[in-house]
Structure 1
Amino acid sequence: MKEKLYPFHVSLLVYMIQTGVIIFSLPRLLAQHMGYNGWITLFAYTGVVMLNIYLISLVYRLSNGKSIFQIIEQALPKVIVLPLYFILVSVWTMLGCLVAKQYVFIFQAFVFPTTHPMFMKFLVDVLAYLLIIKGIYNISKAATSFFWLVIWTLLLLLFFVKNFQWVNLTPFFFQESTDFFLGGLSIFSSFLGYELALLLFPYVEKNKSFIKAVHIGNLLTAITYITVSLTCFGFYSFNQLQGMKYPVIDLLAQIKFPFVERVDNIIFSLFLFTTLITIVAYIWAAKETVHRVIPRANSKWLAGTIVGIAFAVAWIPDVLNEVELWIKYLGYMEIGIAFGLPLFLLIILLLSKGGKKHV
């Protein structure tokens, strides 16, 4: 009997996949694209994610916990299945590889400016590979351990309560917003990761606790984003936020301890753990998809090949702005997958159930 993922582990896994380095630039993105009091839109994004998770819950209920790959392969010919799998593998692999390089570029700029970024990227990929080959159960347990190493950093926001200026939260809402739609998609991509719950169906108990756990993980992410963004909007003026590349890092740099010189570097280093889980989750999803096409392939070799390809592709974008541009467009594609894949699966399930009733 295979071990099943507990709802508690699922919640923290979803949270760790969703939360990444984008949190350090999120307040700026909200100010630039959403305008004054842009942090309020995070409530709307949370609602949209909850709607998407509801679609996933319908797939889970109608499929009776069956793997999404079984649903697709039983209903569609290989001529459709293979291109679909190719798209999923490509997007998930690229996301995992570029999220890693984004973190490495930022880390290098603040901590090791003379070190080649691909050397650090290699070390991150080795850590990711060692986790991927352990399987989803051990990945979820690692995510749980890493969660406790990261979540306490939210308490550091208490240092800014005294300097929080309510006057910065003007009565104006969404004025001076730019590129509301595409900018909004870029912000929504910071919530991505929950859609990988589609691949967890065979690994959880067949009950409602699984979907509740996904909702809880998303709510934890929303609370984190809202708390951090509200603090930045209250601490900095609107114009300051728009001009900062990573306002959260600049915020943490304000904290001074007699025994620690650069708190911001330490906190950013800790976020390697959230980035690592995001990388691992997307590469694991890609590996699981490839395994359906080549079922006899060794799982470790598959993981190594995908990580190796991701490492090779990561050489192409050689500046941070280029990496972030790639991630932005991949984020658009992943949003399409997050909504399109559950809807596609629902159509297949409803048609198959309708067909059975007429047999």
Structure 2
Amino acid sequence: MKTIRQVSMLQFTLMVSAFQISVAFLSLPRELARQAGTDGWIAIFFGWGMATLASAALVKVMKNNPDGTILDLLQRYMGVWASKIAAFIFTAYYLLLAYDGFMIATLVIKLWLLPSTYIYVLVLLLLIPTFQIAQHGFQAIGRYSEIVTLLSIWIPFVYLSTLRHAHWLYLLPVIKEGWLPVLSTIKIMVYPMLGIGLVFFLYPYLVRKDKALRAMVISNTLTCLVYLGITLVCYVYFSPDEIAEYNEPVISIMKSIEFQFIERVEVLFIAFYLFVFSCIWIPSMHLVSMNSAWLLGKGPERGHLALWCFAVAVSFFIYRPSFIDAARVNNFLNLAGFVMEFALPACLLLYVAIIRKVRGEKRS
């Protein structure tokens, strides 16, 4: 395997968490409220448990081939063609995740900041720094995630300032309509927890592979704490009937915040949140180039990345998506993400265990 630049556990943790939070953060309170009312926040705990179990399966699978990615593991246990098919599927999957990130980010920018700017122009501007960072691999992406996290520390304090308008009685009574609405909401938590699948490709780059599961648990916990905090803030600020009417309640709540030195806080928030948005499409574009290079077996990943960036720009020039299209893509990713990041690890873990037993290999 080629020489790789290692990724620290802090970078790994923040990379996964930032990937998860990026685009789902804005609409999650609304989606949970539509399904389970103000009891929707309870589903976040189920989402954490589901993601943690999947993370354990992911790490356990990758321990069977610690010096390679999931493609190397599949080639070892299933053959070359299986790894080629997997590379094609992962290319399509992460390309769709990147496209979804670009789509949501540009639609939000166009709605709140630059209504007269074409979406393809915004995408083109975003692709330039994306290429510059993604071409240098996971170590550069990990450092970028660290910087974004440090720059984002002020956001929770801004939301805490809205609690002076809170109506805590909106949360009562708990489980007002029984457990069925809450349990039916668990499926919504699949999309916000997408990102744990990065382990498939990040594992061989980790400095301390023995701490991978611990890092994943911390990452999932950090993500769910962020989701829980912003969901509760929205629930006690908006009335139970009102919150479902806002497409981005996380942004709308900013209108109640006033500072002497700035009039519209939501404008500053959206402009800054672009850094958080990028934490989904930058690693996704890198993974797209990595998998396509494996699939074709020729050319450097940097060249593949340039071609895919060009393809994304052209796609937005040809077709200009709407919020309805974004909702459709999110619904599809909710299903595809469950298969790729929750069901696949469990199936692979079972398959590899059977093959190792048949071959008489020792446990790793």
TM range (shorter): over 0.9
Q: Is the 8 A contact 2:24 2:191 kept in 1?
A: no
| Alignment match, 2:17 | 15
**207 and 85 in structure 1: CA distance in 2 versus 1, 3 angstrom threshold:** closer
Q: What amino acid sits opposite 1:345 in the alignment?
A: L
Q: What is the distance in 1 between the residues matched to 2:93 and 2:5? A: 29
| Alignment match, 2:108 | 106
| Alignment match, 2:360 | 357
| Alignment match, 2:265 | 263
**133 and 46 in structure 1: CA distance in 2 versus 1, 3 angstrom threshold:** same
Q: What is the distance in 2 between the residues matched to 1:44 and 1:330? A: 19
1:130 alignment partner, one of 129, 132, 137: 132
Q: What is the distance in 1 between the residues matched to 2:239 and 2:336? A: 33
| Alignment match, 2:148 | 146
Q: What is the distance in 2 between the residues matched to 1:176 and 1:343? A: 31
| Alignment match, 1:204 | 206
Query: Residue deviations 1:223-273, cap 9 Å, x none?
Result: 111000001111111001111111111111110011101111111221111
Q: Is the 8 A contact 2:52 2:216 kept in 1?
A: no
| Percentage of identical aligned residues | 18
Q: TM-score, normalised by structure 1?
A: 0.93
| Alignment match, 1:335 | 338
| Alignment match, 2:37 | 35
Q: Is the 8 A contact 1:20 1:278 kept in 2?
A: yes
User: Displacement, 1:313?
Assistant: 3.2
**295 and 79 in structure 1: CA distance in 2 versus 1, 3 angstrom threshold:** closer
Q: What amino acid sits opposite 2:33 in the alignment?
A: A
Establish whether residue 97 from structure 1 lines up as the match of residue 99 from structure 2: yes
Q: Is the 8 A contact 1:35 1:173 kept in 2?
A: no
Q: What is the distance in 2 between the residues matched to 1:329 and 1:347? A: 26
Question: What is the CA RMSD across the aligned residues, in angstroms?
Answer: 2.3
Q: Is the 8 A contact 1:33 1:179 kept in 2?
A: yes
Establish whether residue 47 from structure 1 lines up as the match of residue 49 from structure 2: yes
| Alignment match, 1:217 | 219
Which is worse superposed, 335-344 or 126-135? 335-344
Query: Residue deviations 1:262-291, cap 9 Å, x none?
Result: 111111221111211210111212222122
Q: What is the distance in 2 between the residues matched to 1:171 and 1:290? A: 51
In structure 2, the residue corresponding to 1:271 is in which secondary structure?
A: helix
Q: What is the distance in 1 between the residues matched to 2:208 and 2:22? A: 29
In structure 1, the residue corresponding to 2:63 is in which secondary structure?
A: helix
Q: Is the 8 A contact 1:36 1:175 kept in 2?
A: no
Query: Residue deviations 1:166-202, cap 9 Å, x none?
Result: 2111214263999878864334201111211221111
Which is worse superposed, 328-337 or 286-295? 286-295
Query: Residue deviations 1:200-228, cap 9 Å, x none?
Result: 11101353222211221211111111000
Q: Is the 8 A contact 1:132 1:284 kept in 2?
A: yes
User: Displacement, 1:160?
Assistant: 2.1
Structure 2: gaps of 5 or more residues: none
| Alignment match, 1:230 | 232
| Alignment match, 1:193 | 195
In structure 1, the residue corresponding to 2:25 is in which secondary structure?
A: helix
Q: Is the 8 A contact 1:94 1:310 kept in 2?
A: no
User: Displacement, 1:23?
Assistant: 1.4
Give the paired residue count. 359
User: Displacement, 1:352?
Assistant: 3.3
Q: Is the 8 A contact 2:71 2:83 kept in 1?
A: no
**35 and 73 in structure 1: CA distance in 2 versus 1, 3 angstrom threshold:** same
| Alignment match, 1:308 | 310
Which is worse superposed, 2-11 or 254-263? 2-11
**217 and 172 in structure 1: CA distance in 2 versus 1, 3 angstrom threshold:** closer
In structure 2, the residue corresponding to 1:41 is in which secondary structure?
A: helix
Q: What is the distance in 2 between the residues matched to 1:77 and 1:60? A: 17
**218 and 101 in structure 1: CA distance in 2 versus 1, 3 angstrom threshold:** same
**141 and 19 in structure 1: CA distance in 2 versus 1, 3 angstrom threshold:** same
Which is worse superposed, 81-90 or 124-133? 81-90
